[in-house]
Chain A
Amino acid sequence: MRTILSIGVDAVSYGMVLFMISIGLSIMMGLMRVVNLAHGAFAMIGGYLASYALRAMGLPYAVAILIAVVGTIAISIPFEVLLYRRIYRKSDALTQLLLTIGITFFVIGIVNFVFGPTLKSIPLPPALSGPLDIGFRMVPTHRMFVIACGAVTALALWFLLDKTEFGVRLRAAVDNGDMAEALGIRTEMLYSATFALAVGLAAFGGVVGAELLPIEPFYALRYMVTFLVVVSVGGAGSIAGALSASLLLGLADTTGKYLAPEFGEFFFYLAVIVIVFLFPHGLLGRAH
Chain B
Amino acid sequence: MRPTQPRFAVWRILPFLGGLLLALLVGIHFGAVQLSLSEIWQGLTGAAAGAQIETILWQIRLPRVVLAACVGAGLAVAGAAFQGVFRNPLADPFVIGASSGAALGATLALLCLAGSVTVITSTGQVPWLILAAFGGAMLIVGAVFVIAALSNLGRSAPLLTLILAGMALSSFTGALVSLIMFLNHEMLNTIFNWLLGSFSGRHWNEIAIAGPVILVSGGLLWMLSRPLDLLSFGDETAMSLGLPSGKVRLLILAAATLCTAACVSVSGVIGFLGLMAPHMTRILLGPRHGLLIPGSALLGAILLVIADTLARTVIAPTEIPVGVVTALMGCPFFLFLLISRGRQTM
A and B, one complex?
Answer: no
Which residues from chain A sit less than 8 Å from chain B, CB to CB?
none
Which residues from chain B sit less than 8 Å from chain A, CB to CB?
none
